[in-house]
Amino acid sequence: MGVSLKPLPAPAAREDGDLSPATICHQIFDSISVHANGDIVCWGVDSQGQRVYGNVFTDRIVDVYNGPAYREIRDWMLRSRADTWCPAVERHCPLRVVPASVDQDAHNCRIKILKLEPVTYCNLRCPVCPVETAFKQIPALKETRAQKLLALETMLDVVAHQVVPETNIFGFGGEKYHEGVAVLLAPAWFVSIGSGMVSLLLCRAKTVAFTVRNLLIATALVAAILGLVVYPK
């Protein structure tokens, strides 16, 4: 894994007598996320790719998930005092609120959720979306995050090589995204039938315009792939 990560700060010290459990982010202990440019991050909350652990074009997600960098940040959370500040995104995060269990382990973890981001193209102008506030505005992110597309073949390869209970397909794309999402979902569902559930995460209110027409297209495609529909001659 040819990535160079910024060193983590020292674990946040506890005060004398503090026996409260550490607070952890479940995502770093049971999930992994792939951006549309192939970068592997802990979860969608790291939308800017501040801490990239690898890339699916050069690394297997299972190797990243069980690798030293992922184990290091898990261990950091377990050794730090209870807090919501996260060194991955360098800010307080609403996800780091789960009390660690007594037997919580940084090493023996299993991927439960794989998140795939197909696209960062968007023809909407939502004022609070990272596409508008970051990907189009910050020069470095214009290069790494703006107008990226994770090819269907790449997503299917990732799913096929790592069986997980659940795969989330999410993205910051708007109308362009939901118009093509049926075509993306059908093969992904087909590949994942034996390995768990595939879900679609909609990123904003207008994307709820995911139409009945597209839903019917997706259903028809899945049915056709599975041979469940006999079309009249």
Q: Is the pLDDT of residue 180 over 80?
A: no
Token representation of residue 153: 């073949």
SS3 209: helix
Token pair belonging to 129: 């979306």
* 160 has pLDDT over 70: yes
Q: Which residues of 65-90 are buried (b: 16+ CB within 10 A; e: fewer)?
A: bebebbbebbbbbbebebeeebbbbe
Q: Would you say residue 213 has pLDDT above 70?
A: no
Apex 36 CA angle, 32 and 40, nearest 5: 30
Mean pLDDT of the chain: 79
Per-residue pLDDT tens digits for 8-52? 999 999 999 999 999 999 999 999 999 999 999 999 899 999 999
Q: What global pTM score does this model have?
A: 0.79
Mean pLDDT over residues 150-171, rounded? 81
d(CA 6, CA 221): 44
Q: What is the pLDDT of residue 174?
A: 54
pLDDT digits (tens, 9 = 90+) for 76-126: 999 999 999 999 999 999 999 999 998 899 998 999 999 988 888 777 777
Copy the structure tokens of residue 122. Answer: 């968007």
